[in-house]
């Protein structure tokens, strides 16, 4: 039987053996929600990089570059971290380089030893579920968190995926149980559940309530971004 586990922050990834696992990286507000949205709207590829410097170097090579730190766009880059920016018709077929505070760092950490790295969000929850069911590997959901600490929204997504898969997968450890039960508690009204979370308060101060509501919608897109070499493409 395949197993599923959850790593609540990239700071704990070294405790997990992922050599036989597909790692699903999630950063609901907003990196992986942007990636899924972009892929669903025809973006050619997204190259996630850990640092602003690497992102700038790719911009110099012709990539459309998106750099976010502390939930805001870094000066000099082309795209911000709102999913609505990734629906632009001008980006169809484009190659994007992206760095974010938490999400792209998690992808960089996971790709060193995982079998495959996928990108998950509520927007493609069902598509990711179906893809994983078609594979023979164990699953680790890696929550990007916030600067090493856990956050509620990524834990909720992890729990949603555990709930979707737990009939066919063995739940490996308490991290996965904790996430699943948190999701079960929250799933009927995630927006209210998250209203007092630290990142939602942070984002609301920035006036991006519309992004929050958008990112909490389930199954809007049937795409699964998967890392091939250094770029995310559609599976």
Task: Identify whether the C-beta of residue 139 lies closer than 8 Å to the C-beta of residue 3.
Answer: yes
Nearer to a second copy, 11 or 88 (CB): 11
**Does residue 87 touch a second copy according to CB under 8 A?**
no
21-26/138-143 β-pairing:
parallel
Q: What CA–CA distances, in Å, run from 150 to 19, 72, 95, 217?
A: 23, 20, 31, 21
Beta-ladder partners of 232: 46, 227
Regarding 147 and contact with a second copy (CB under 8 A), the answer is yes
CB 191 → a second copy: shortest distance, Å? 15
Cα(80)–Cα(99) distance, integer angstroms: 10
Verify binding: residue 9, a second copy, rule CB under 8 A: yes
Q: Among 183, 123, 137, which residue's Cα sits nearest to residue 158?
A: 183
Cβ count near 133 (within 10 Å): 13
Minimum Å gap between C-beta 70 and a second copy is 15
Piece in contact with a second copy (CB under 8 A), picked from 34-42, 68-76, 88-96, 148-156: 148-156
- Which of 20, 70, 148, 209 contacts a second copy by CB under 8 A? 148
**Choice between 35 and 172, CB closer to a second copy:** 172
Q: Which is nearer to a second copy, 150 or 235 (CB)?
A: 150
With CA atoms as reference, report the closest residue to 26 among 40, 45, 6: 6
To a second copy, the closest distance from the beta carbon of 153 in angstroms equals 8
Phi, psi of 101 (to 5 degrees): -60, -40
Residue 225 contacts residue 31 (beta carbons within 8 Å): no
Nearer to a second copy, 37 or 182 (CB): 182
Task: Tell me if 187 contacts a second copy by CB under 8 A.
Answer: no
Cis peptide, bond prior to residue 30, ω within 30 of zero: yes
Q: Nearest approach, Cβ of 145 to a second copy (angstroms)?
A: 9
Q: Does 171 bind a second copy (CB under 8 A)?
A: yes
Q: Does 70 bind a second copy (CB under 8 A)?
A: no
**Among 51, 168, 181, 222, interactor with a second copy by CB under 8 A:** 181
Residues touching a second copy, count (CB under 8 A): 28
CB atoms within 10 A of CB 74: 17
Chain contacts with a second copy (rule: CB under 8 A): 8-9, 11-12, 15, 146-152, 155, 171-175, 177-178, 181-182, 185, 193, 196-199
């Amino acid at each position: 039987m395949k197993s599923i586990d959850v790593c609540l922050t990239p700071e704990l990834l070294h405790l997990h053996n992922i050599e036989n696992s597909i790692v699903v990286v999630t950063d609901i507000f907003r990196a992986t929600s942007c990636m899924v949205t972009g892929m669903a709207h025809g973006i050619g590829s997204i190259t996630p990089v850990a640092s602003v410097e690497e992102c700038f170097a790719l911009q110099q090579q012709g990539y459309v570059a998106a750099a976010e730190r502390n939930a805001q766009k870094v000066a000099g880059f082309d795209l911000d971290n709102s999913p609505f920016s990734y629906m632009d018709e001008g980006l169809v077929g484009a190659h994007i380089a992206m760095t974010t505070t938490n999400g792209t760092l998690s992808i960089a950490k996971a790709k060193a030893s995982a079998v495959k790295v996928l990108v998950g969000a509520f927007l493609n929850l069902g598509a990711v579920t179906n893809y994983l069911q078609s594979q023979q590997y164990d699953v680790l959901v890696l929550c990007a968190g916030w600067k090493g600490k856990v956050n509620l929204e990524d834990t909720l997504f992890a729990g949603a995926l555990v709930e979707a898969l737990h009939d066919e997968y063995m739940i490996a450890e308490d991290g996965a149980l904790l996430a699943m039960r948190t999701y079960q508690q929250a799933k009927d009204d995630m927006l209210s559940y998250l209203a007092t979370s630290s990142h939602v308060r942070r984002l609301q101060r920035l006036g991006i309530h519309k992004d929050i509501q958008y990112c909490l919608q389930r199954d809007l897109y049937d795409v699964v971004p998967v890392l091939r070499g250094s770029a995310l493409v559609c599976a």
